[in-house]
Amino acid sequence: MTSVQGTAVDIPTEDGTADGYLAHPGDGSPRPGVLLYMDAFGLRPHLRSMADRLAAAGYTVLVPNLFYRHGGAPVFELPEFIDPRARPEIFEQIGPVMQSLTPELAMRDADAYLRWLADSPLVAEGPVALTGYCMGARLSLLTAGTFPERVAAAAGFHGGRLATDTPDSPHLVAERVTAELYFGHADEDPSLPPEQIERLEDALAKAGVRHRCEVYPGAHHGFTQADTAAYHQDGDERHWAALLDLLKRTF
């Protein structure tokens, strides 16, 4: 097993400084870069452990605190085990913060995160990969379409609102994507109904994007997050297999 080093980092952006977490193999040699986009609960121990697992597989992984405009991580006080049904007030806090991260702001930040990775001596030269969870899946798709020359592969898991009928829907960037994409959708996810799954698939197919979209049966929105009530072990294991497969094919 590759030894892993994890450190807190600061990433300068146009609007301030984003705190983040960087995980990489302990030998310090440059490895392919992966930008990991968090879910709405934010940068916390579970996401750091996900980054460590990717680093152990041979990658340099950056997990920025996407909500840095509202303070350093943790932005919200979270219990060790997150069950929004038991604590509905969690979403009352998170909702406005999540909505304040507009696609325009998120892509301005994405530029900074990608530049930071490109400048890091721990990251191999060339385009990087993305993986995103919940809201991060949406950002993964948007980033792949906004910075095609810098993204070689992008994955998203239990993403919501990926193909809405609004003018800023993520699926509308499909024609600019050059990366290979993979999406693992949650089964019966209210934030991604069947018509959106179909609309996303159609957009990617029409644009000629190399992609694979799969629905994970029995898995709920948030199924990869082991510190939440939505966790689904089979879905999570399938996600790791699909993600590592995509990264192997890419790098």
Give the residue numbers annotated as catalytic, written as ranges. Answer: 134, 189, 221
CA 209, 211, 217, 221 dihedral sign is: negative
Q: How many CB atoms lie within 10 A of CB 122?
A: 20
Is 95 exposed, middle or buried, given 0-12, 13-18 or 19+ CB atoms closer than 10 A? exposed
Residue with tokens 């509202």: 70
- The 3-state DSSP class for residue 23 equals strand
- Say how far apart CA 64 and CA 112 lie, in whole Å: 10
Which letter does DSSP use for residue 68 in this model?
Answer: G
CA 68, 62, 184, 196 dihedral sign is: positive
Residue of 98, 246, 110 whose CA lies nearest to 183: 246
